Amino acid sequence: MGKDRANSAEDGGAIRALRPPGATEDPRSGAEGRLMARVEERCGALIGRLCAASSLPREFLAALVANESGGDPRALRFEPAVYRHLQAVAAVRKMADAPARPKIVKREK
């Protein structure tokens, strides 16, 4: 990992908030700061391991976790449309993997 990469091993690997251009408030304060602190506390070690093994920046993965679960490791969400799509993909894959079999028909005498 290069020195320009955020949250490298040199800075302890903690998730740090990035201030968007034009922002006046420190993103580590208020509700967003508390949320990111909760994500770091509950998921920081796992996020660190995943990011070390990939090219994902810690901030991105932490923000994704915060957005999808609020840092709650027990959070669940069922998406019916996604489920239907996955069923369709699995059905097509099953058809593609099935060996071609000749059709057996009864002959008329």
Distances (CA, A) of 59 to 6, 11, 20, 52, 71: 8, 14, 13, 13, 14
With contact defined as beta carbons under 8 Å apart, do 48 and 13 qualify? yes
Give dist(CA 60, CA 68) in Å, integer.
12
pTM attached to this predicted model = 0.53
Write the pLDDT tens digit of every residue in 94-108.
Answer: 777 766 666 667 778
Task: Return the DSSP state at 13.
Answer: T
Write the pLDDT tens digit of every residue in 2-57.
Answer: 433 444 444 456 665 556 666 666 656 788 889 999 999 999 999 999 999 999 99
